[in-house]
Amino acid sequence: MLTKINHIGVAVSSIEEALPYYRDSLGMTFSGTEEVPSQLVKVAFLSVGESKIELLEPTSPESPVAKFLEKNGPGVHHVAYGVEDIEAAIAKLLAQGTRMIDAVARNGAHGARIAFIHPKSSGGVLTELCEVHEGIH
C-alpha cells in the first residue's frame, strides 16, 4: 500500500528561525514555503537525497500545530507515507477498523492529496497518507 516515506513533519513556532539550522548547518536543500489555509499552517520543504523534512508553522492560534506546540513544544509532529491510490488506502484502513481523521482525502501542500490516521490508531505517531504526482511534491 505504501510506496516510501514521503516526508517527516516537524512543528516549529517560526520557519524563519528554524530554517538556518536545516538549510545552513545541515546543508539541506530548501525549496520554498507555502501556506495551506485549510490546515492553518505555513510549510517549508527541505530535502536531502530523496528524503524530505516539512517544517510546519501555525498561522492561527486555532491551528492544530499551535495546539501541538502549546502541549509539547517544537519537535517531530508526523510521519507521511506516499501512497499510489489514496482512496484505496483509506478504504483498506477503514475496513480494518483503523480510526481515520480524514475518511475523505483533502488537499495538502504542493497539490498533494492527503489523509491523516488518528494517533490513537497508530501508536501515538500522527500518520499522514500522501498521494503525490511526479514532479509536484
Interacting span for ligand CMX (CB under 6 A) from 12-20, 24-32, 82-90, 106-114: 106-114
Question: How would you write 68-99 as a 3-class SS string?
Answer: HHHHHCCEEEEEEEEECCHHHHHHHHHHCCCC
Cα atoms in the Cβ-side hemisphere of radius 13 Å centred on 43: 21
Strands 41-48, 51-58: pairing kind: antiparallel
Among 43, 53, 89, 132, binds ligand CMX (CB under 6 A): 43
54 near ligand CMX, rule: CB under 6 A:
yes
Quote the cell numbers at residue 57: 508553522
Distance from C-alpha of 53 to C-alpha of 98, rounded to nearest angstrom: 26
Question: Is 82 near ligand CMX (CB under 6 A)?
Answer: no
Contact with ligand CMX (CB under 6 A) among 78, 82, 83, 117: 78
Chosen residue from 24, 37, 67, 133 binding ligand CMX by CB under 6 A:
67
The DSSP call for residue 121 is G
List contacts with ligand CMX (CB under 6 A). Answer: 9, 36, 39, 41, 43, 54, 56, 64-65, 67-68, 77-78, 80, 101, 108-109, 112, 114, 116, 119, 124, 126, 128
